Amino acid sequence: MSMPRWSVQPVPEMTPEQYDKWQNLLEGRTGNHISWQHRSILQANLAGRMRELGLSDYDTYYERVTAADGSLEWTTLVERLTVHETRFFRHPPSFDLMTSFLEQRIAEKQQSGLELWSVGCSTGEETWSLAMTVCQLLRQSKQVIRYSVTGTDISLKALAQARQGEYARRRLGDLSPELQQRYFEECAGSTLRIAPLLRERVCFTRVNVLDLERAPMRNMDVICCQNLLIYFRPWRRRIILGQLAERLAPGGLLVLGPGEITDWTHPDLQQVNNDQVLAFYRL
């Protein structure tokens, strides 16, 4: 029995022209930039999808994706070209900061409630971690206050997983037994499901950060945007950060991943004085 042609053939090399075309399409539609040095990532992901479609050259596939009826194929491809790696409470120092910020904010916002936003939430771990943080604080302080957490992403597949809220037990490794017990319920096999008391506070929706002007989020108390902008060029990071800053409530907190932007200031923001965390308060 002969092997399928694709499985024995190496991933085809792109010409510089093909790289430009694909890179411009990806960056223009998602902001994600893949440099020429890292083109093997682009090639491998395109080739993987082309193999499924029985296509063998980048130009034919490009025409299919950019055709008038190519939007479905583009949606499929985006899943491959975006990085979805994430974890619960991924960067503990950032969560420590958000916890102490929220503790104070809860005391101040008894009447109006709290709004939190996880931008580029992937499969939901960050969003659920934010919800657990608020829920724990309310429990400890015995206060009742309205709050909601929104997770947004460009990837429909990641959002579907986030909404489902089911995670293999091994993915909960860093969560204390107390959190596991309180915020998850047993599901089939070695899977745990997010408990209803968090589900009723959380929603997930598709937002491309290149279209933030159309996003309805306003007056956010916390915006957490980690490990998304690192895939963008610095000039684009600045534009998006400016737009996120406008969506913070007065006194709100914007949390990025350490080192994700340097030499950036905004007239309405003040950087948090903390070596381990990159975050800004809205004045």
Contacting positions for ligand SAM (CB under 6 A): 30-32, 82-86, 90, 120-122, 126, 153-155, 158, 208-210, 226-228
Distance CA 151, CA 125 (A): 10
Give the tokens for residue 187. Answer: 């599901």
Give the tokens for residue 127. Answer: 């969003």
DSSP for 48-71 reads HHHHHHT---HHHHHHHHHSTT-H
Minimum CB separation of residue 247 from ligand SAM in Å reads 14
The residue (of 153 and 221) whose beta carbon lies closer to ligand SAM is 153
Minimum CB separation of residue 163 from ligand SAM in Å reads 14
Distance CA 251, CA 111 (A): 16
Minimum CB separation of residue 7 from ligand SAM in Å reads 28
The residue (of 106 and 127) whose beta carbon lies closer to ligand SAM is 127
The residue (of 98 and 158) whose beta carbon lies closer to ligand SAM is 158
The CB-based long-range contact list for 33-37 (8 Å cut-off, 24+ gap) reads: 33/231, 33/232, 33/233, 33/236
Minimum CB separation of residue 87 from ligand SAM in Å reads 6
Minimum CB separation of residue 211 from ligand SAM in Å reads 8
The residue (of 82 and 133) whose beta carbon lies closer to ligand SAM is 82
The residue (of 27 and 56) whose beta carbon lies closer to ligand SAM is 27
Confirm if 123 and 158 have CB atoms less than 8 A apart.
yes
Confirm if 267 and 243 have CB atoms less than 8 A apart.
no
